[in-house]
Amino acid sequence: MTKTSALAQRFRITEGKDFRLEQIHAAETAGIESEKQASGMLAESLGELRDRQQKLYAQQEWALLLILQGMDAAGKDSVISHVMSGVNPSGCEVFSFKQPSSEELKHDFLWRSTCKLPERGRIGIFNRSYYEEVLVVRVHQRDLQAQRLPQSLVTEEIWRQRYEDIAAFELHLARNGTLVRKFFLHVSKAEQKKRFLARLDTPEKNWKFSEDDVKERKLWPHYMAAYEHAIRHTAAPHAPWYVVPADHKWFTRLVVASAVVEALDDLNLQLPEITRERRKELEAARAALENES
């Protein structure tokens, strides 16, 4: 087991029944002492990721779905831009899920995510996802009204039912060749405040700040409880959660990259085998090119 592989496994949750967020400190760095040390390890992981992604794309059998969840300013955009920086863009797509549109609200809560699932051979990244339905909607339960569900279905059981639906959906994906890996970027409330103030102090980042961000901070305990419940009920060996310390962005990127490489390694990817017939075709093509006048 490599050091980076062990790093990913340290934060992986495959059985969430007894999980508590307090088990993982948001500022942890797992003994990695500096950003410089982490940068060298990240560069190695990104090289491995490029190699695996090429094989994934060439093989056209598996798909990889990466789900990023976290409070505002947890570093989701930063992870995407850094970890996927060396990946072939033609084999990777990113989708951000904001407030649902009127069309999306006319469908079941998994519909809009289902439409964006990655094709075989590709990596799909969800910046937020269907998990918002048991996070934001659970904290702001008035949002259920906009979904126009039959009132007889809006009971105290709705959250347990949605966990079951999500778990069944992810099992369905796994059984049909889509590898699912989920990341909760675990940032502390103090670090979030620091990042919000930095956005206010930096004119180029003012656009990232919303007044609602301050209001949502008042609901921090409710969000942490919602995340804890979601992880407990939906962590599984085929769709694990990674609860990633996010107070140090350089460490967050390293853990996510390590986990993605480890996931692709589990598939034992290989470039397509060249058959004897295909070899003859390639030799004929070479001959034709070399004989061009």
pLDDT in tens, 202-228: 888 787 778 888 899 999 999 999 999
Residue 287 above 70 pLDDT? yes
Which region holds residue 73: left if phi is over 0, alpha if psi is between -120 and 50, else beta?
left
Exposure letters 219-229 (e unless 16+ CB within 10 A, then b): eeeebeebbbb
Residue 66 above 60 pLDDT? yes
Highest mean pLDDT among 211-215, 252-256, 287-291: 252-256
- By DSSP bridging, strand 241-245 and strand 12-13 are antiparallel
Radius of gyration of the chain (CA): 21
Q: If DSSP codes are grouped into helix, strand and coil, which group holds residue 67?
A: strand
Confidence category of residue 264, pLDDT binned at 50, 70, 90: very high
Confidence category of residue 247, pLDDT binned at 50, 70, 90: very high
Confidence category of residue 50, pLDDT binned at 50, 70, 90: very high
Is the CATH code 3.40.30.110 the one for domain 3-290?
no
- What would the pLDDT profile of 11-43 be if each residue is shown by its tens digit? 999 998 899 999 999 999 999 989 999 999 999
Q: If DSSP codes are grouped into helix, strand and coil, which group holds residue 184?
A: strand
This prediction's pTM = 0.93
- The pLDDT assigned to 3 comes to 64
Q: If DSSP codes are grouped into helix, strand and coil, which group holds residue 247?
A: coil
- The pLDDT assigned to 265 comes to 95
Structure tokens given for 118:
């990655």
- The pLDDT assigned to 1 comes to 55
- Quickly count: other Cβ atoms within 10 Å of residue 156's Cβ: 6
